[in-house]
Amino acid sequence: MASSRLERVEESATIKAANVANKMRQQGADVISFSLGEPDFDTPKHICDAAADAMYRGETHYTPSAGIPELREAIAEKLKTENKLDVNASDVLVTPGAKQAIFEIMLTVLDDGDEAILFDPAWVSYESAIKFAGADTVWVPTDPYDGFKPQNLEEYITDKTRIVVVNTPGNPTGAVYDRSTLKNIADLAIDHDILVLSDEIYEKIIYDREHVSMGSIEGMQDRTITVNGFSKAYAMTGWRLGYACARPDIFDGMLKIQSHSVSSATSFVQYGGLAALQGSQEPVKEMVDEFKIRRDILVKGLNDIGIKCQTPGGAFYAFADVSEFGDGNQISEKLLVDAHVAVTPGSAFGESGKDFIRISYATSQERIKDGLERIKTALV
Ligand code: PMP
Ligand code: GLU
C-alpha cells in the first residue's frame, strides 16, 4: 500500500516516546515524562487575547499564502534588529509551524540523489524531510566533549552536497555554537557553494550566552535559509506557527508548496504571533529563568548518579551519556518500565546517540527531583 517515499521514513521518535508515556498515564501509571520537547507553560495571556479578538473580529478566512502582511513585516523587523539579517517582509514566509518550513525547504532545494549534511546527533525530522525529498543524508560526527561541534566537516562534502543543517541552540544536545564555530561552517559553505538551513527555533532559550544567526555572518545572507517559530519561545506549540526567510528563488519554491498543501498558517493564529512579537517579552524571560534553574538541578543530579552530562547552553534538553549503565535504548526501556520515567533514546537522533538519552526538562522542579530519585533507584 505505502509508497516507497513513505517507506524510507520512520515514525517521529520524539512523538512516539511521548505517546507511549501518555498511554501509560491514561492507564493510571504515574509517569514522569522527560520525553517531549515542549514548554510546560501556558501561552501568555496577551497572545491568547489577540488571537481571540481576531477570531471574533472575523479574521477567520483564508489569508495570503505567505502570511498576513503585518506579521511578515513584524518578523522582518525582528530579524533585522535582533538577528542582524538584511531582510524585507517580502523574504518572510509564515508557515504552520517551523516543521512545515523545514519540509518546504528540503522539497524546494533537494533533488533525487543530492546530499544533505546533518551533524550527528540531530533532531529527528530533518532526516525525514531529506528522505521525503529523495535525497541522501550524510552524517558528520560531533564531539560531545567539544560542545557537539562538527568534526572534520570538509571531509564529508562532495560535489553532490547541496545543504547543511545547523541548529543552535540545538535539539537534542542543548549545545550553543559560538560565532567562530559558525564562521568555520560558513567558510566551507561559501568555498563549496552549499546552502545552510539555520534552525533557530531555540534562540530565546539560551543561558548566559549570545545567540548568533548564521545569516548574519559575512557572505552568508544569500545562502542561508533561516527558520524560526513561536512554539518554544512563547509556549505556542499547539498553535502551529513558524516562519522562514529565504532568498527569492527558494522563497518562491516554498510558497508554491505551501499554497498547494496547507494554503497558509491559520488566520487568527497569525494575529497571536503578531502580539507575541510586539507585546511584552517578560514572559519569555521568566520562562528562561525557570528553565535555567531546572537545567542546573537536572545536570547536577545526573552527574551525582554517575550519568555523564555536560551543561547545555540552551534549549531545554540534556543529552546524557548512560554508557556506564547500558546503551541508550536499554536504559530508556528500563527507566520506563522500572521507574515510570519517560526519556527519548539518543539513537533516535543519529548513530552517535546510541549511548545517550535525551531528557527534556520542560517539566516542574519537583517532577525533575522526583525523576532523578527514580532514575537513581532504577540504575544504581
Ligand atoms: N526545529 C527543532 C530543532 C525542533 O525541536 C522543533 C520542535 N518541534 C521544530 C523545529 C519544529 O517546531 P514547530 O513545528 O512546532 O514550530
Ligand atoms: N521538537 C520537539 C521534540 O523534539 C517536539 C516533537 C517533535 O516535533 O519532534 O521533542
Q: What are the structural domains, with CATH classification, of the chain?
A: 4-43+282-379 (3.90.1150.10), 45-278 (3.40.640.10)
Three cell numbers written together for 169:
541552540
Question: What is the pLDDT averaged over residues 286-306?
Answer: 97
Whether the per-residue pLDDT at 10 is higher than 90: the answer is: no
Q: How many CB atoms lie within 10 A of CB 48?
A: 15
- Pocket lining: 36 vs ligand 2, CB cutoff 6 Å: yes
Whether pLDDT at 36 is above 90: no
Which residues, 6 or more positions from 143, have their beta carbon under 8 angstroms from its beta carbon? Answer: 149, 151
Please determine, for residue 1, whether its predicted confidence score (pLDDT) is greater than 80: no
Please give the residue that has the higher pLDDT: either 121 or 37. Answer: 121
Residue with cell 492507564: 27
Pocket test for ligand 2, best of 10, 11, 33, 36 (most atoms within 8 A of CB): 36
What are the beta bridge partners of residue 321?
308, 356
Any atom of ligand 2 within 6 Å of the Cβ of 12:
yes
For 134, counting Cβ atoms within 10 Å of its Cβ (0-12 exposed, 13-18 middle, 19+ buried), the class is: middle
CA-nearest residue for atom 12, ligand 1, is 98
- Band the pLDDT of 214: cuts 50, 70, 90: very high
Task: Please report the pLDDT score of residue 5 as a whole number.
Answer: 85
pLDDT, tens digit (0-9, with 9 covering 90-100), for 174-184:
999 999 999 99
Question: Which of these, 327, 368, 342, lies nearest to 35 by C-alpha position?
Answer: 342
Q: Is 167 in the pocket of ligand 2 (CB under 6 A)?
A: no
Angle at 338 between CA 333 and CA 342, to 5 degrees: 50
DSSP 3-state of 380: coil
* pTM, rounded to two decimals: 0.96
When pLDDT is cut at 50, 70 and 90, the band that residue 267 belongs to is very high
Which pLDDT band, with edges at 50, 70 and 90, does 259 fall under? very high
Q: Which atom of ligand 1 is nearest to the CA of 199?
A: 1
Cα 174 to ligand 2 centre (Å): 13
Q: Which residue has the cell 507511549?
A: 20
What is the arrangement of strands in the sheet containing 356-360, beginning at the earlier edge strand?
Answer: 317-321, 356-360, 344-345
Expressed in percent and rounded to 5, the helix, strand and coil fractions of the chain are: 50, 15, 35
Nearest residue CA, atom 9 of ligand 2? 14
Ligand 1: distance of its center to the CA of 325 in Å? Answer: 30
Residue 6's pLDDT band (cuts 50, 70, 90): confident
The whole-angstrom separation of Cα 169 and Cα 203 is 6
Residue of minimum CA distance from atom 10 in ligand 2:
37
Q: What is the pLDDT, as a whole number, of residue 19?
A: 86
> Is the separation of the CB atoms in 326 and 17 below 8 Å?
no
Q: Is 15 in the pocket of ligand 2 (CB under 6 A)?
A: yes
Our mutation pick for probing the ligand 2 site, out of 10, 14, 228, counting the most ligand atoms within 8 A of Cβ, is 14
Give the pLDDT confidence of 76-132 residue by residue, as tens digits: 999 999 999 999 999 999 999 999 999 999 999 999 999 999 999 999 999 999 999
CA of 147 to the centre of ligand 2 (A): 21
* Span from the CA of 223 to the centroid of ligand 2 (angstroms): 26
Rounded Cα distance, 240 and 262, in Å: 12
Residue 110 in contact with ligand 2 by CB distance below 6 A: no
For residues 262 and 293, give the distance between their C-alpha atoms in angstroms, rounded to a whole number.
39
Identify the DSSP state of 314. B
Which cell numbers hold the place of 11? 515514525
Query: Which residue lies with its CA nearest to atom 2 of ligand 2?
Result: 37
Three-class SS state of 152: coil
Distance 306 CA to ligand 1 centre (A): 30
What pairs with residue 230 in β-bridges? none
* Residue among 99, 104, 128 whose CB has most ligand 1 atoms within 8 A, to mutate: 99
The response to whether residue 37 sits with its C-beta less than 6 Å from ligand 2 reads yes
